[in-house]
A and B are shown apart, each in its own frame.
Chain A
Amino acid sequence: MNATNRGLGRTALVIVGLALLVAGVGTILVQTVPWASSTWHDWGRSLGDLGAGAPRDASVTMWTWVLGGGVVLGILALVVLSTLGGGRVGTVVEDDGSSSGVAGTVRIDSAAVQHALSSAIGVMPEVGSLAVDVYRVRGGRAIRIKVRPRRGASPRAITTGVEGIVADLDALLGDRLPVLLEIARGGSGSGRTDRVH
Chain B
Amino acid sequence: MSAGDVAGTGTGGGNGTTGTGGTGRAHDRVYRRVVRRETSASRSGTVVVAMLVLLVIAAAAVFAAALVLLDQRVLGIDPRDVVDGAARAPRGLDTTITVGIAAIVAFLGLVFLAQGLLPQRRPRHAMSSDRLAVVVDDEVLASAAARAARSATRLGPDAAVGTVGRRTVDVVLRPAAGVDVPAVAATEAVAAEFVAIDTEPPVTARVRVQPTGRVDG
Interface residue ranges, A against B (CB under 8 Å): 1, 4, 6, 9-14, 16-28, 30-32, 37, 40-41, 44-45, 47-48, 50-54, 59-60, 63-64, 66-67, 69-71, 73-74, 76-78, 80-81, 84-85, 99-100, 137-138, 140, 142, 149, 151-156, 159, 162-163, 166-167, 170-171, 174-176, 178-186, 193-194
Contacts and interface: CB of A to CB of B under 8 A. Distances in A.
Given A9-B43, A13-B47, A16-B54, A28 B106 contact: yes
Interface residues of B, number: 97
Nearest to A171: B11
B87 A163 contact: no
B201 interface: no
B197 A156 contact: yes
A178 B78 contact: no
Contacts of A170: 11
A186 B138 CA distance: 11
List the 10 closest pairs (A to B, CB-CB), nearest first.
Answer: A24-B106, A20-B109, A17-B112, A152-B147, A21-B109, A70-B61, A13-B116, A17-B113, A44-B87, A67-B65
Nearest to A45: B87
A153 B83 contact: no
B90 interface: yes
A40 B89 contact: yes
24 contacts: A1-B37, A6-B43, A9-B47, A12-B50, A17-B108, A20-B105, A24-B102, A27-B98, A27-B102, A30-B89, A31-B90, A40-B87, A52-B81, A60-B69, A64-B65, A69-B61, A78-B55, A81-B47, A81-B48, A155-B141, A156-B197, A180-B35, A180-B38, A185-B140
Contacts of A154: 144, 147, 193, 196-197
